[in-house]
Structures are given as C-alpha cells and as structure tokens.
Structure 1
Amino acid sequence: MTAPTGVSTEERQGASPWLVLVTLCLGFFMILLDTTIVNIAIPDMSTSLDASLDQILWIINAYVLVYAVLLITAGRLGDLFGPKRLFIIGLVVFTAASAACGLATNPEQLIAFRIIQGVGGALLTPQTLSTITVIFPPDKRGVAFGVWGAVAGVATIAGPTLGGYLVTDFGWEWIFFVNVPVGVLTIIMAMVTMPDLRLNRRHKLDWTGTALATVGLFLLVYGLIEGESHDWGKVWGPITIVEVIGAGVLVLAVFLYHQYVTRAGEPLVPFSIFKDRNFAVMSAVSSAIAFGMLGLFLPLVIYLQSVLGLTALQAGLAVAPMSLLSMVIAPFAGRAADRPAGKWVLTIGLTLWCAGMATVVALAKADTGQWGLLPGLLIAGTGLGMVFAPLQTIAMRHVAPQQAGAASGLINTTRQLGAVIGSAAVGALLQAQLVGKLGEAARTNAADLPPEARQPFLDAVAGATGGALHVGAGQSGAAIPPGVPEQFRQALTDVTTRTFHEGFTNAMKATLLLPLIVLAIAAVSCLFIRQQPPSSTDTPTEPRPAEAATT
C-alpha cells in the first residue's frame, strides 16, 4: 500500500538521504570487504587449515551460492516488511557468522559458517539499491550510485591491503573478526538513520521457485567444483559428475518454466521487468562482470603469493593501485551516467578493464617482480572505475518504485550468479589446466635430477594434481615423497618448486582467457543500451511517497 501522493519529499525521506546513503554504503562496504579479504587470504587459509584447492573453492562459493539464491527473495522480503528491518537483520546475521568464521578450526566448519554469512549478506544487499532508488529523485540517483560505486572501489582497496596486513601480522582469522566492529556500528546507524519505508505490503514469496533455483544452482556448482577431484567420473554411487551438472541445468530449466507459467502472480523472477531493454542488458552485463571479476582474481591472488612469494600484505599492495584508481574515477563516472554519455562511459570502461587484465596476463611470468603487473592493473583500474555507477544508474532508471526491491534483488542476483558460476567454472578450468601444465613442467624439469630421483618426482607431481593440490603460500604443490635419499632431497625440493611455479603460471594464463572472453562479450553488449537522457519522465512513475510504517 502506498502513501498518498500529497506527502512531501521530506516526509518521504525522514532523515537526510545522504546520511542514509552513508549507512547503506557502510553495510555494503562490509559485504564487499569480506569478499576481497577472503580472496587475499586464500593461500594462508590453505596452509593453516590444510585445505585443498577444491575445499578453498567451496569456502569461496558456499557464501556466494547462498547469497545468489536468496537475493531475490530478500528483495521481496524488503518490499513486504520494509528494507530497514531486513537490512538490520542481515547485518546481525552476517556479523555473528563472521565471528564464527574466525573461530573455525577446519575447512568444513568454515564452509558451514560461510553459508550463514551468505544468508546475512543476501538479506542486506537488495535493501541498499531499493532504498537509494526510493529516497533519491531521478536527477540525483546518478550521484548516489556514484558514491555507491566508489564504496566498491574503497572496499576493493581495503580488502587486499587491510586483509594482507591482518593475515601477515595476526593470522587469517582476523579477516573475519574485523567485520564485527564494523557490523555493530552499522547496526546502530541503521536503527537511528534509516526510514521505515513501505512500498507494497501485498507481496507473496515464491517458495517453489526458491527451492528449484537452490537445487539447480547447487548441483551445477557442485559438479564444476568437484569435477576434477573425481576425474569427471562417478561421485555418488553410479552417478557421475557430468550427470550432476546435467541435472542442475535441467532443474534450472524447470525453474525458468515455472517462473514463466506463474508470471501472472508473483514469481521469483518478474519477467515483466525485462521488458525494459536497458534493465535486461544490464542484468546480463552485471552477471558477466561478476564472472570476470571473481574468475580473474581467484588465480591471481594464488599466483602473487604462492608463485611470486609475496606476503599477503605485499600482494594486497600490488593490486591496490588498480583499486585506488577505480575509487577516484567512480564518482565522476556516476555523474556522467546521468547524461546520455552514460552508455559510452560503461562501454569504454569495460573495454579498458578487459584490455588491462589481458595486459596482466601477458606480463605474468614465474619470476615477475611485485610491480611487474602494474601497467595492466592501472589500465584495468581506470576501466573498473567507469563500470559500477553507470551500470546501476542505467539499469534502475526506468524501474517503478513499487518494483524497486524486486529489481534490485534481481540485478544483484544475476551479478552473484555470474560470480558463483565464474568462480566454479574458472576453478574447474584451473584444476584441469594444472593437471596438464604441471605434468609438462615436471617432465621437462626431471632432466635436472639424478636418474634415481626422477620417477619419485614425477609420481609426487602426478599425485598432487587435481582437487588434492595444495596452493598455500610457500608450498611447492607437491610433497617430497618418503624414502628419497638425503643427498637428492635438496635438488628434488628445488626442482619441485620450480615445476610448481612454471606449471601454475602457465595454467593461470590459459585459464584467464575464459573470463577475458566473457568481459569482451559484456563490452559489446553495452552497444544495445537504449540511450536516453534522464528526466522526470524517465521512470514510469515518479518515486511515490513510501509509507512510513509505525514500528
């Protein structure tokens, strides 16, 4: 139920919308900070928890998978009960789960607590975009989304640098503990500043759609992550990995059919929103961006620490220039998004980001120095800063306020679906490439060993590839087999380390072609954006006053 149209803008907003924006961005910052911190800590978590590569992929994807599945439902819950309440509940769940993650003593516990973190993050995130869309008039949303995009840049900087410092000086556990004070502060600010908006009290939740999406995505991601460790063969009795992936695709197809046949009601995916070409294109582009981002940085952080030998802090500082440049550019890109140039800002940004990361891949070698990747990272940072604010502004410009929660939940869902599929697909491709590239490097380097040590060396490398491979900082990828004579152990250690460095670098370079191709397709897709200047008639209805519900 909406309030009468005569309610003033001030009554609609309650507290200053800019103060509300600060609160929303602080919560969003915490979610993004957690993601980037976890990435930089991957090698140390692998070493400390004795986690294999496929377990590391689950630590990343358990969070993203739950986050993706629940985002649309959380957007609907925000429409039903108010974004303020869902934002605060999400903060409480996420903060408590972060503390539990820091106390985990094995990979299984950490994966379980990451799932709970995903629930909290999903409840929180859609409320940020829907609230911004409602409390800011159309001519101010570009600036607001520019600030929102700049927060993404700040989180990207703070994640690697703060995370690197915490991991290096205190341990990986503190990458999760740092969320606790930030979460408590944000909860207090949200309770004080956020208006209790109501856009529509009559939403219903699509539990069947949620169940189908959950099962389908789980099967698809499980098959991609576990494929290499099971040699793409049997995984559950007679059931094979290929059959698991096929079942996931089939269930997702049933999910889409269910959404279509229930379109007259309130399906999880409101197909009517996709009648707006810009929203449809931006949803696809958002998914591709997340695919590229997580797909690119997963192998890169392992390369920086486990191949180049950088500490977590040094690795964070190595990528910080890209994030810093992105943060500086984002607000200006947000202003440009309010003009017809927004389409071209986004297109150029994606092109530069893709070109910069391609340069990074070209410069990566087993002996590259800490700053050897800097030229590519600076190009990528320039492009990255031109992406997020224009994307959100173009996507949400024509969305009616009554659909703001569903729309923001939907576009965040497509982004997270891209992230989880990108991480799983790139992880699977990386594992497959490691099998071949490590084997090639091992056969080449075996010639430097005495004849008696060659076969034990080749056996050790063969046993370490696939999902059982450990990629922790300072590790060589394969353990020295027992029974090797002492006089051969040093030579074997040196050759094993060199083999891992060469094999991983070559595997990474081949793997990263996949996210680069996806980003290139996203850049071309931006040409289909309908270019229109923003005005008061851009939205189907001017943001109607949200009913301030009594608590």
Structure 2
Amino acid sequence: MTAPAHALRIRTTAGRGTLLAAILASGMVFLDSTVVNVALPRLGADLDATVAGLQWTVNGYALMLAAFVLLGGSLGDRFGRRRIFLIGVVWFAVASVLCGLAQDTNQLIAARFLQGAGGALLTPGSLSVLQASFHPDDRGRAIGTWSGLSGVSTALGPFVGGWLVDALSWRWIFFINLPLAVGVLLAAMRWVPESRDENVSRSAGRRFDIAGALLGALALAGLTYALIDAPVRGVGSWSVLLAAGVGVLAAVSFVLLERHRGEGAMLPTTLFGSRLFSVLNVFTVLVYAALSGFTFFLSVYLQNVVGWSALRTGLATVPMTVLLLLGSARAGALSARIGPRLLLTVGPVAAAGGLLLLRRVGPGASYWWDVLPGVLLFGIGLTLVVAPLTASVLAAVADRFAGVASGFNNAASRTGGLLAVAALPLLVGLSGSGYEQATALTDAFRGAMAWCAGLLLGGALLAALLVHRPPSPDRAPGRAAPSTRGA
C-alpha cells in the first residue's frame, strides 16, 4: 500500500498522540462491554428490573453494534475517518451519561441503544484511523500496540466495574466514560489527521448501503424481541409471533437485497462462495454465543446465589482474560504452522469442559477449588480459538475483501452473543424476578452452562469436519486488520 501524504511515524509526537487517541477510544468501548455484566444484579435491584430488562440492557447495546458496525466503517471512508471517529466519541460519551442518569429500566435500555450506535461509529474508526494515518513501515507496530493496550482495558473491565459498583454505584460504570472521552477528543483534535477513501465516489453504492444496514438491524431486533418477550407473553402470543415474523421477513429481504446489489452491497454475497468463510462464521456465532451466555449468567449467579460482592465477581474471570492476552499470539503462530483445524476443535472442547465444571458451583463455593478450575479451562479453550479464527476468516477471502470480512466476522460474534442472551433465559425457564430467587437462578444457571457447553461442542464438531487450512497461508503480516470484536 502506498504511504499517504504526511504519513505518521510512531516515534513522533503526532504518531504517539494519534495512537493514544485510538487506544483510549477503543479502551473505553471495550471497558464498557465488560463492566455491565458485573453491575446487572445491583442495577436490577435498584431499578426493579425483570430478567427481560437485564437482557435488553445487554442486548440493546449489542444489537446496535452488530447491525451498524459495517455501516460505521463505510461512513468513515466516505465522510472522513477522523470526523466520524470524533462524532462517535461524543455520541458514546453523551449516551453513557444518559445511561448513568437513567431512573428506570426503559430509560436505561433506550440509552444503551444510543450508546451502541455511538460504539458502531467509534469501533471501526479507532482502527481505520491507524490503518490510514501511519506509514506502512510503522502500521503493523501501531496496530499491534493498539491491540495489546486495548486488550488491557478488557482485562481491567471486570475489576474496575466491580470496584465502582461496590464503592460508589452502578451508575459510575457509565460516568467513567466521560473523562476518557474528553482525553480522546483532546488528543484526536490535536494530532489525528483526516483521511477518507478517495475512490469512494466511484463506488458509492458499494460503500454506503443504508438499506442493508436497516434491514439487518430490523432482523436482529425482531428476533431478539421475540426471544426475550416469549417467557413473559407466551410463545404463541401475537406480539411474539409478529416480532418473529418481522425479523424473519427482514432477514430474507436483507439477503435478497445484498444478492441483488452484488459487489455493490454492504455485504457482498460472493464472500460466501468460500465454504471456509461460511463455516468459520457459523463457528463464530456458536462460540461467541457460548461466551456471552456464560458471562451473562455467571455474574448474576455469583452475586445472587453464591453471595459474592461485585468486585469479587469481577475478579473471578480476570484469569480468563489474562490467558487471552498472553496466549493469543502463540496460538495464532501455532495455527499458522499446523493449520487451524486442530486448535478450533480442541479449543471449544476444553472450553465446554470448563463450563461443565462450573455447574457444581453453589452457595459458599471456594474460588480456588470451585470457580478457578472451570474459568481457567474455559480461558485456555478460548485462547486456542480466538487468534486462529480471526486469521482464518481473513485468509479465506481475497485481500480486497479483508475489511468487510473482518467486519462481518465481528458482527457474527456480536450476533451470537445477542441471540444467546435473548434465548437462554427462555430455554432454561428464567423470567420475571427469578434472577433474585436462589433456587430458580441455580437451576437456570446450571441449565445455561449445559446449553453453552453444547454450543461449543457443536462448534468443535463443525471445525473437525469442515475446517481446513486457508488457501493462502503465505499472506504477509499486516495485510489485513485484526478483529475488534471485543467491544
């Protein structure tokens, strides 16, 4: 790739400032994605929320990210990556304040939808700014630094969230974004250069598919609403059936529209001509559905049944994140040598074993003997999966589709989590205020861990049968951007 005019070097003040802005911004989004689960029991009690209210608190944010993250990247390409990045930062900060000020569940859910929309502008922008601004010789190092330090915020999220909930209030998990956003804005306005795709005018239809994004959002919203509302109103109620029908119709319309637009679509359907790409994205949905279901139920269970504080609950899963930070690069290197099939088969099996171990956790449980072994085994399994999966998805398509392939895989991971949080309470019979009742929550937690283990084993079987070494193993490092699905 040709270096842009005035390309930044990482050792310059402007280079460091641009990197700081990207790291703080993505760290803000990653932090917010991990702290909310820890706060669910406390905010649920404070706002008198039902299980459905907690589900929408998580899923309102995830839905907007899954539906609009590809569009957010396209907006940056067309109107300026720095401009859209700054709008996303301000939008996210304002929505965070609204979340913290919410006086009832409906207000919080509405604010979380807005926050997710801001995140959809911000998440692709933080990476695309680095990709477009730095000299090719420094680009790989800048992205690697961004990835590592942004990951630290993911590791700190449960700890910071738990401390804020215990020491101050659940509202501060949202208010903490305000000073971070101010730091991002000051650094971005001072150092981040503007950039855009100069060829966008010749490919506007391909780069700016609003209809596709709206249909995708409507499909996810309809199906999510049906799954969350079914335990309350009944599977056969008119509102549930209507929502499900709208979701299915929107999904079919989305596929037909994208097929009609060809390579001018937000999601070119030619990508799915690669069987490996299709299989890996189904695998992604299964694995990240299990991950989201696990984290949603574990945080509530440890506080409302085991009796732990929010801080202790947040610390419980830190070893899992540390394993990911320390081991993902090694797993990626191993996958490059031996191919992804073995790791994508063994990893989910190990993770499933961890979840089955956690089913025995109960009141008075010991962290070291009862919780840590399951968390470690799950973390080891996930570490074997994440980097090989991302690399294989990008290697399964032509280089010119690397951006959209990464974005779609990001959306697939969020969709898996979205559907898991919506469906699992229905599948395990948890509704209303059941999350506050020890017996009901214990049964639901153990059932949910079994379902999540089943999803992982399904992913392992899929990998064992259908995953093979990508066709282009000799891709040069740095040709494609890494996944940012942790937001």
* Superposition TM-score, scaled by structure 2 size: 0.85
User: Residue 40 of structure 1: CA displacement?
Assistant: 0.3
- Answer whether contact 1:133 1:404 (CA < 8 A) is retained: no
Of 338, 352, 355 in structure 2, the residue corresponding to residue 354 of structure 1 is 352
- 1:411 is matched with 409
- Structure 2 CA distance, aligned partners of 1:72 and 1:414? 11
- 1:224 is matched with 227
- Structure 2 CA distance, aligned partners of 1:208 and 1:332? 41
Between 271-280 and 320-329, the greater mean CA deviation after superposition: 271-280
- Structure 2 CA distance, aligned partners of 1:14 and 1:403? 25
SS of 1:317 mapped into structure 2: helix
Alignment of 1:535 with 2:468, yes or no, is: no
User: Residue 178 of structure 1: CA displacement?
Assistant: 1.1
- 1:453 is matched with none
SS of 1:387 mapped into structure 2: helix
- 1:469 is matched with 433
Larger gyration radius, structure 1 or structure 2 = 1
Counterpart AA for 2:469: R
Which ranges in structure 2 are unaligned for 5 or more consecutive residues?
481-487
- 1:68 is matched with 66
Aligned length: 467
1:368–1:153: structure 2 CA closer, same or farther, 3 Å change rule? farther
- 1:510 is matched with 447
- 1:250 is matched with 249
SS of 1:373 mapped into structure 2: helix
Which ranges in structure 1 are unaligned for 5 or more consecutive residues?
435-465, 472-476, 478-499, 544-551
Counterpart AA for 2:246: A
SS of 2:317 mapped into structure 1: helix
- 1:522 is matched with 459
- 2:25 is matched with 27
User: Residue 417 of structure 1: CA displacement?
Assistant: 1.4
SS of 1:268 mapped into structure 2: coil
- 1:78 is matched with 76
User: Residue 382 of structure 1: CA displacement?
Assistant: 2.0
Alignment of 1:369 with 2:306, yes or no, is: no
- Structure 1 CA distance, aligned partners of 2:105 and 2:195? 40
- Structure 2 CA distance, aligned partners of 1:307 and 1:286? 31
1:42–1:194: structure 2 CA closer, same or farther, 3 Å change rule? same
1:416-442 superposed Cα distances (whole Å, 9 cap, x missing partner): 211211111113224x2x4xxxxxxxx
- 2:391 is matched with 393
Counterpart AA for 1:373: V
- Structure 2 CA distance, aligned partners of 1:364 and 1:417? 28
SS of 2:262 mapped into structure 1: coil
- Structure 2 CA distance, aligned partners of 1:339 and 1:192? 43
SS of 1:115 mapped into structure 2: helix
- Structure 2 CA distance, aligned partners of 1:167 and 1:325? 25
- Structure 2 CA distance, aligned partners of 1:88 and 1:399? 31
1:336–1:26: structure 2 CA closer, same or farther, 3 Å change rule? farther
1:458-495 superposed Cα distances (whole Å, 9 cap, x missing partner): xxxxxxxx3x2153xxxxx4xxxxxxxxxxxxxxxxxx
- 1:440 is matched with none
| Greater RCO, CA 8 A, separation 6+ | 1
1:239-264 superposed Cα distances (whole Å, 9 cap, x missing partner): 24234323322321122122212215
SS of 2:308 mapped into structure 1: coil
- Structure 2 CA distance, aligned partners of 1:146 and 1:81? 26
- Structure 1 CA distance, aligned partners of 2:385 and 2:108? 32
User: Residue 280 of structure 1: CA displacement?
Assistant: 3.4
SS of 2:200 mapped into structure 1: coil
- Structure 1 CA distance, aligned partners of 2:189 and 2:425? 40
1:169-203 superposed Cα distances (whole Å, 9 cap, x missing partner): 10100000111122222233334454534343232
- 2:485 is matched with none
SS of 2:235 mapped into structure 1: coil
1:132–1:376: structure 2 CA closer, same or farther, 3 Å change rule? farther
1:276–1:87: structure 2 CA closer, same or farther, 3 Å change rule? farther
Counterpart AA for 1:503: A
1:13-52 alignment to 2 at 5 Å? 13-16=7-10, 19=16, 23-52=21-50
- Structure 2 CA distance, aligned partners of 1:187 and 1:348? 43
- Structure 2 CA distance, aligned partners of 1:178 and 1:155? 13
1:301-358 superposed Cα distances (whole Å, 9 cap, x missing partner): 1110000111101111222222222222234334445545555445443333232223
- Answer whether contact 1:74 1:409 (CA < 8 A) is retained: no
- Answer whether contact 2:392 2:470 (CA < 8 A) is retained: no
- Structure 1 CA distance, aligned partners of 2:336 and 2:32? 30
- Structure 2 CA distance, aligned partners of 1:535 and 1:40? 42
SS of 2:255 mapped into structure 1: helix
- Structure 2 CA distance, aligned partners of 1:404 and 1:85? 23
1:86-125 alignment to 2 at 5 Å? 86-125=84-123
1:409–1:82: structure 2 CA closer, same or farther, 3 Å change rule? farther
1:206-229 superposed Cα distances (whole Å, 9 cap, x missing partner): 232223222222111111111111
- Structure 1 CA distance, aligned partners of 2:223 and 2:45? 28
Structure having the larger proportion of residues in helix: 2
Provide the alpha-carbon RMSD of the alignment.
3.1
Counterpart AA for 1:186: V
- Structure 2 CA distance, aligned partners of 1:313 and 1:302? 13
Percent identity of the aligned residues?
32
- Structure 2 CA distance, aligned partners of 1:153 and 1:383? 18
Between 192-201 and 50-59, the greater mean CA deviation after superposition: 192-201
Of 182, 190, 207 in structure 1, the residue corresponding to residue 210 of structure 2 is 207
Counterpart AA for 2:474: S
Counterpart AA for 1:517: G
* Superposition TM-score, scaled by structure 1 size: 0.76
1:125–1:214: structure 2 CA closer, same or farther, 3 Å change rule? same
Of 152, 172, 181 in structure 1, the residue corresponding to residue 179 of structure 2 is 181
1:115–1:96: structure 2 CA closer, same or farther, 3 Å change rule? same
- Answer whether contact 1:104 1:110 (CA < 8 A) is retained: yes
User: Residue 33 of structure 1: CA displacement?
Assistant: 1.2
- Structure 2 CA distance, aligned partners of 1:131 and 1:526? 34
User: Residue 69 of structure 1: CA displacement?
Assistant: 1.3
- Answer whether contact 1:129 1:408 (CA < 8 A) is retained: no
